[in-house]
Chain A
Amino acid sequence: DQQVKQNSPSLSVQEGRISILNCDYTNSMFDYFLWYKKYPAEGPTFLISISSIKDKNEDGRFTVFLNKSAKHLSLHIVPSQPGDSAVYFCAATDNFNKFYFGSGTKLNVKP
């Protein structure tokens, strides 16, 4: 049973536009959420996180939104750049020992 789902396997966006990546979860006990970015032949790298006590966290071009009632989070990238092209994973946890990952969304930012 997959507790974190990313239903869009891929997304293509024009450079300069907004990229919106979505993630849904089923476990109401999750209280911390993260986004990771992964380039080919590299491990995932941490991008941004949000605690369940917040509904928004911003870091430069990246903003994560959390809707607890809908069990939904999204990552906004504005403006999108070609270097942002990668696979993005959302992850969730309730105890910092074990993280549940979605299956990833491959973002392609076209120049």
Chain B
Amino acid sequence: DAGVTQSPTHLIKTRGQQVTLRCSPKSGHDTVSWYQQALGQGPQFIFQYYEEEERQRGNFPDRFSGHQFPNYSSELNVNALLLGDSALYLCASSLTGSGYTFGSGTRLTVV
């Protein structure tokens, strides 16, 4: 049973560029949430997608956007990258009302 799959595992981008991160949820899960984990901190909620719509959003600027596809997979897009966007980006999937299963994350470095 495949868990949550995220790609790529690592990437390096230049300040001002745009990036797309991808997530395939655990089989049977219909909800995808994205978190940003900066070094030495806990994960911080970016947003959650359910039925292809953003259901809830955390305190992140509009440069952070997402999408959920009919097969429940999801993308996180970040525009106009800043050095401070360097972090581990975690995708978590769940079945509505249950706890999360996390992926291993994408390590984004902005230089």
- A6, B41: Cα distance in complex, Å: 10
Min CB gap B63→A, angstroms? 20
- Are A44 and B90 neighbours in the complex by a CB distance under 8 Å? yes
Q: Hey, which bits of chain A sit against chain B, CB under 8 A?
A: 4, 6, 34, 36, 41-46, 49, 89, 91, 95-104
- Are B98 and A43 neighbours in the complex by a CB distance under 8 Å? no
- Are A46 and B101 neighbours in the complex by a CB distance under 8 Å? yes
- Are B99 and A4 neighbours in the complex by a CB distance under 8 Å? no
Q: Hey, which bits of chain B sit against chain A, CB under 8 A?
A: 4, 6, 33, 35, 40-45, 48, 55-56, 58, 90, 92, 94, 96-105
- Are B100 and A46 neighbours in the complex by a CB distance under 8 Å? yes
Task: Give the residues in chain A near B105, CB-CB below 8 Å.
Answer: 43
Select from chain A the residue with minimum beta-carbon distance to B47: A98
- Are B42 and A43 neighbours in the complex by a CB distance under 8 Å? no
A96/B98 contact (C-beta < 8 A), A42-B104, A43-B4, A44-B90 known: yes
Min CB gap A7→B, angstroms? 13
Of B33, B43, B105, the most chain A CB neighbours within 10 A belong to: B43
A101/B43 contact (C-beta < 8 A), A41-B104, A43-B103, A43-B105 known: yes
Min CB gap B94→A, angstroms? 8
Of A41, A99, A103, the most chain B CB neighbours within 10 A belong to: A99
Task: Give the residues in chain A near B99, CB-CB below 8 Å.
Answer: 34, 46, 49, 96
Of B45, B90, B98, the most chain A CB neighbours within 10 A belong to: B45
Task: Give the residues in chain B near A104, CB-CB below 8 Å.
Answer: 41-42
Of A91, A95, A97, the most chain B CB neighbours within 10 A belong to: A97
